[in-house]
Structure 1
Amino acid sequence: MFSFAMPELILILVIALVVFGPGKLPELGKALGKGMQEFRRATGEVVEEKAINIEAKAIEEKNRLDKLPAAESERRAAGVNSQEQR
């Protein structure tokens, strides 16, 4: 995405120091760190939830496909050809 070299980072730090002052800078850094931590946690939860949903759908599909041969056998036992139904 973005790539910052050392001169760009120093420039951003100097601008932040001038704008917010030396007293507010530690508080700002702490708040920024907490915000990034919360963002990572939230995105991790979303990824985990999507993985669970995908796995559940795969299990449902497998169960549905497992039932198909049984239904086909029942139709054949009843004398109905699967090609006649199409």
Structure 2
Amino acid sequence: MFGIGGGELVFILFIVLMLFGSDKVPEIARTMGKAMAQLKNATNDIKSEIHKGAEANGLDHNSLTSITGNINAQINEAKTNLLGDNANLTSNLLGDTATEIDKVKEDIDTISGPVKRHL
């Protein structure tokens, strides 16, 4: 649930209880529940409208899936064409950059070695 563990949830509930008091917590929970239900209903309504519009235009689930698959295939092909020649260039560039970074780290360690010893 949103990456929140049990201990974190208990802590959040404790803070809410301290801020709003025991009288307001059930009212807040009911309000939050109603808001979540309204959000879910609105989402379902939007989904159903999209499906109705697609069916009215002669598109069913299978045709939408095939269109999506074709679009993804075209995108992947364009990526391959665009990055195919540059893939080796990119890996060489990254390798050269890592080598230069290592050299700079060694230089910093060499320079700061005596300073660290004096501190």
Deviation at 1:3, TM superposition (A): 1.6
Higher relative contact order (CA 8 A, sep 6+): 1
Q: Which residue number in structure 1 is paired with residue 109 of structure 2?
A: none
Q: 1:56: which partner in 2?
A: 56
Q: Which residue of 2 aligns with 1:15?
A: 15
User: Unaligned 5+ residue runs, structure 2?
Assistant: 60-119
Identity of aligned residues (%): 36
Partner of 1:5: 5
Displacement of 1:2 after TM fit? 2.3
Count the aligned residue pairs.
Answer: 59
Give the equivalent residue in structure 2 for 1:84: none
Q: Which runs of 4+ in 1 moved over 2 A?
A: none
Where structure 1 has 5 or more consecutive residues not aligned to the other structure, the ranges are: 60-86
TM-score when scaled to structure 2? 0.47
Cα distance in 1, alignment partners of residues 2 and 27 from structure 2:
25
- Whether 1:27 aligns to 2:27 is yes
Partner of 2:44: 44
Letter in 1 for 2:37: Q
Query: How far apart in 2 are the matches of 1:11 and 1:17?
Result: 10
CA–CA separation in structure 2 for the residues paired with 1:27 and 1:55:
42
**Partner in structure 2 of residue 72 of structure 1:** none
Shift of 1:5: 1.1
